[in-house]
Every structure is written in structure tokens, then in C-alpha cells.
Amino acid sequence: MTIWWLVVVLACIGAGGIGFIWLAVHIGRSAPAKKTGTDSYEAAADQDVEHIFNEKFREELRNRGRLHFEKIIGENAMFLQQDLRLTTSELNEYMKKEITTRLKEEFDKYEQSIMDAKQLAIESIQKTNAAIDEQRELLGQQVQKEIIGEKQQLVQRFEQNMTDIINHYVLAAIGDQIDLNDQLEYILADLEANKKAIIEDISSGA
């Protein structure tokens, strides 16, 4: 509203100025006198007019008009200046207020956006943490399972090869000290235990 008021005041001041200029120009011009039937009267009137409104008088009128016009122009300019100052100050206040309001709104929006982004980031981080925990738990279970399986496999392999290990150890440790003659009793006992099978195989396979 203040801008529109300013425009209206400026337009009024401009129109007033243009009117004064037009009036001064038309006053300065002398309209040609019409020649009528009685040239003598007219000439006398013209002469009187010329006598009254002589060049000096006209000059004085012009000066007065010019001074008056300048005075009016100065007053109007002063009013215009006051109005401009007032308008400028109001405009400044308005601009300050508007800018403050807009900035506040924008800052509020920005803050809200930041809060939303923060909330989204927190939710994302929480989801990521949950997924990491789940993965870690699964991985831990899997690793534990594999460790147990590996351990069982090692134990099983160790148990399967235990006899070979002990046999190899016995051979390496006391293999050269085992006398074959000392083993004869055991060998004969084994043969005695399997005598029947040996005799059957000999009888059938011979």
C-alpha cells in the first residue's frame, strides 16, 4: 500500500508541475489582436494596453510568476522530499519486517528440514546398527558352528588315526628293541585263535 501511495503522490506532484509550466508558457504568449472595423479604437486600445502592459511591466510579471513558480516548486519539492523520506523510512521498516518475517520462515523451514534430516539420519543409523548387530550375531553363530564342526572333525580325525599314531610312535621309540622271538608266543596264540579259519581255507582252497 505504501508504494502505491508513493506513486499516487508522485503522479500528483508531476501533474501540478506540468500545469504550472503550461500556464506560464501560455501567459507569456500574447494573442494577436483581431482587426475589427474600427481600427482607430483598436489601435488606441492597443496603445493603451501597450502603455499599461509595457515591456517592463511584462518583465516584472514574468519575474513574479517565475518567483512564484519557483516557490511552489520548492515547496512541492520539500513536501516531496518529506514524503520521500517518510516513504523511505516506512519502506525500510516494511522491508525490514518482511525480510525478518521471510528470514524467520525460511530459518524455521531450514530448521525443520534439518530436524527431518537428522531424524532420518538417526533412523537410518539405528536401522544400520540393528542390521549390523543381526549380521554380527549371525556371523558369530556361523563362526561358532564352523569352529565346533572343525573341532569335531579334528577330534574325529585324531581318534581315527590314533592307532596309527601310537603304532608309529611305538615303532619309532622301541621298534628296534622288539625281539621277534619274544613275540612268538603271541603269534602262536593268534594262529591258534584263527586256526580253524586257516585250516578251512587251506582245505577248501588247496
Partner 1 sequence: MEHEAPKHRKFAGLPLSVVGPVDLGRLLREIETIDNALLELELRKPGSEAKLPKTSKLMDELVELNKLNLLQAADRADLKKFLEAVKQQAPVLHISFSADPTPSFLQRLMKYIRQEIHPLALVTVGLQPNIGAGCVVRTANKYFDFSLGKRLAGNRELLMSKLREHVTAPAAPAAQGAPHAS
Shortest Cβ 136–partner 1 spacing (Å) = 33
Helix (H, G, I), strand (E, B) or coil at 30: coil
Helix runs in the chain, H state only: 2-28, 39-52, 55-160, 162-174, 184-193, 195-205
Q: Does 177 bind partner 1 (CB under 8 A)?
A: no
Per DSSP, the three-state class of 175 is helix
**Is residue 31 near partner 1 by the rule CB under 8 A?**
no
37 binds partner 1 (CB under 8 A): no
Taking CB under 8 A as the criterion, the residue among 25, 30, 36, 205 binding partner 1 is: 205
157 interacts with partner 1 by CB under 8 A: no
8 Å CB contact between 116 and 124: no
Q: Are 2 and 89 in contact (CB under 8 A)?
A: no
- With CB under 8 A as the contact rule, the residue among 1, 31, 52, 197 that binds partner 1 is 197
The residue count for the chain = 206
192 scored as a contact of partner 1 (CB under 8 A)? yes
Spell out, one character per residue from 113 to 152, where the chain touches partner 1: x when CB under 8 A holds, - when not.
Answer: ----------------------------------------
- Please give the DSSP secondary-structure letter assigned to residue 37: S
Q: Rounded distance, CA 23 to CA 65, Å? A: 10
Amino acid at 182: D
Does residue number 85 form part of the binding site for partner 1 (CB under 8 A)? no
Q: For binding to partner 1 (CB under 8 A), which residues are involved?
A: 159, 162-164, 166-167, 170-171, 175, 178, 180-181, 183-184, 186-188, 190-192, 194-195, 197-199, 201-202, 204-206
